[in-house]
Amino acid sequence: MNNLWTVMSFTMKTKLRGKSFLTMTILISVLLMVASNLPYLIDKWSSGGGAVKVGYVQGEQAEIVAAVDRYLGTIEEPKVALVPIEAPAGAAERSAAMRQAIEDKRIKGYLEFKPGQDGVFPSVTYLSKKVFTGDASQQLQAALLAAKNDAVVKDAKLSQEQLARLTAPVSFDALQLDELDGTGKTEQERDTAVLLTYVVLILLFMSVMFSGQMIASEITAEKSSRVMEILVTSVAPLQQLFGRVLGTFIVAVMQLIVFVAVSVVNLSLPHNKVSFASLGIDFGSIDPIMLVSAVLLYLAGFFLYAMLFAAIGSLVSRTEDLAQAAMPVTMITLAGFYISFFGLNSPDSSFITICSYVPFFSPFLLFLRIGLAEPAWWEIALSVAILLASILAIGWLAAKIYRTGILMYGKRPTLAELRRAMKAYKV
């Protein structure tokens, strides 16, 4: 027990002192800082640059232009602004004048009206050097539609009341039904859950991969530098293995806490609240069960993969061979990660349900299902039971492999060689 603690604290100390750990933590923290401010920054930049200035020939289609302008006036932050340009008559001269205006940076592009097919409303073309951004294009289209409605409705001689009813927006909401108590998740809650799932999946994947690779490469490094020979004569292999995994785990958790703290602090800055709210995300609506299951599944996933990587690290004698040897486990991790990303769009599909019982995938997929689908309690229990059983089985097997592998040098052993060696070493 004492030695377990010694190995653990040594593992932690060497990692925390290492330059790579510090660099990595700072780098990812900065990335997170940028990412959590991204919606705000995008808002700022796209509106900070002001609305896209769209030119039109002064005097042409005055009614439509006036209606469009009116519509844009009702929007809080219009992405489009109309700019009248004086242009001489004649198609060629007109287009030359408009191009000149673009060159002079007075406008980004301009509108050209041609007689429409129905004869009532002209067809409109936007001409510019750069592609129209989505928001601005949508707004302009909506504005033109409003202008058309105006034009049509005016002839119908509707009352103000009728007019208001006609133009009132349709209220549309998607609601997720909850089988248990009949309360549903609002779209906002759902969006938030998707985002949280997304973030947790990425964190789980990165943490598992980084820590796993780190554990494997340290074991291999100890083998290739032959420190292992002294270590095995000083401390029982099991204590060594678990001490290392636990030490790495604590460091990984510390790192995660830094990341989460950075994100939470940044997300709760006042300017970000508005930006996220406009994206339909409200962090207050996060289901606490999701957070608890995120923590528990992270634990499970970490130890499952850490053991696998440790076993592989113990089989390889040279660091150069490690990546190749770790390939199968890396592939499994990647598979779990990608399946769960596929599952973000269809968390209820039977493929996802089946995969969530596979222990290597369940840390990813069970979380996804808890967050986005509504698995029955026995489904969760079964999945967790399989996962825990496999962690024990893999831990036991990894310990056996580790015990044997750390004394084997030379080329990577085949399965048969490994079995023979296990017998020879009596493990």
Partner 1 sequence: MNRLVVQQIVKRYGDRTAVSGLSLEVGEGEIYGLLGANGAGKTTTMRMVLGLIMPDEGKVTYFGKPYSRELLRTMGYLPEERGMYPKIKVSDQVVYLGQLRGMSRKEADSSLKRWLDRFEIPEHYDKKVEELSKGNQQKIQFIAAVVHRPKILVLDEAFSGLDPVNVELLKATVKELRDQGTTILFSTHRMEHVEELCRNITIMHRSRPVLQGAVKEIKKQFPMERVILSADHDVNGLDKLPGVSAVVRNEQGYEMKVDHPEAAQSILQHALKQGPVRRFELKEPSLNEIFIRTVGDRHE
Residue ranges that bind partner 1, judged by CB under 8 A: 2-3, 6-7, 10, 13-14, 18, 222, 225-236, 407, 420-421, 424-426
- In the complex with partner 1, the residue whose CB is nearer, 14 or 123, is 14
Host H or E run for residue 52:
strand 52-57
| Minimum CB–partner distance for residue 108 and partner 1 (Å) | 56
Q: How far is the CB of 317 from partner 1 (least distance, A)?
A: 11
Contact 78, 139 (CB under 8 A): yes
Alpha-carbon span 120 to 61, nearest angstrom: 12
Q: How far is the CB of 215 from partner 1 (least distance, A)?
A: 15
The residue (of 149 and 319) whose beta carbon lies closer to partner 1 is: 319
Q: Is residue 64 within 8 Å of residue 152, measured between CB atoms?
A: no
Shorter beta-carbon distance to partner 1: residue 9 or 349 = 9
Nearest to 361 by CA among 352, 372, 349: 352
Say how many CA atoms lie within 13 Å of 192 toward its Cβ: 20
Closer CB to partner 1, residue 344 or residue 407? 407
Chain center to CA of 267: 15
In the complex with partner 1, the residue whose CB is nearer, 114 or 426, is 426
As a whole number of angstroms, the distance between CA 200 and CA 327 comes to 24
Closest approach, Cβ 415 to partner 1, in A, equals 14
Tokens of 304: 């499952």
- Separation CA 286–CA 331 (nearest Å): 31
User: In 387-403, which positions are buried (b, 16+ CB within 10 angstroms) versus exposed (e)?
Assistant: beebbeebbeebbbbbb
Q: What's the closest the beta carbon of residue 3 comes to partner 1, in angstroms?
A: 6
- In contact, 416 and 404? CB cutoff 8 Å: no
Taking the complex as a whole, the smallest distance from the CB of residue 306 to partner 1 amounts, in Å, to 20
* H and E: helices and strands count for the chain: 16, 4
Query: Of 358 and 407, which CB lies nearer to partner 1 in the complex structure?
Result: 407
Q: How far is the CB of 366 from partner 1 (least distance, A)?
A: 38
Minimum separation from the CB atom of position 407 to partner 1 (A): 6
**Is the CB of 112 or the CB of 222 nearer to partner 1?**
222
- CA dihedral (23, 208, 204, 7) in degrees, to 10, reads -70
Cβ proximity to partner 1: between 18 and 115 the closer is 18
Q: How far is the CB of 348 from partner 1 (least distance, A)?
A: 50
Specify the 3-state DSSP secondary structure of 85.
strand
Tokens describing residue 115? 């007689």
Opening angle at CA 82, ends 78 and 88, nearest 5: 170
Between CA 185 and CA 326 the distance in angstroms is: 41
Q: At which residue do the structure tokens 């947790």 appear?
A: 200
d(CA 407, CA 156) in angstroms, rounded, equals 91
Nearer to partner 1, 70 or 420 (CB): 420
Query: Of the candidates 390, 238, 220, which has an alpha carbon nearest to the alpha carbon of residue 322?
Result: 220
Q: Which is nearer to partner 1, 231 or 388 (CB)?
A: 231
Q: How far is the CB of 236 from partner 1 (least distance, A)?
A: 6
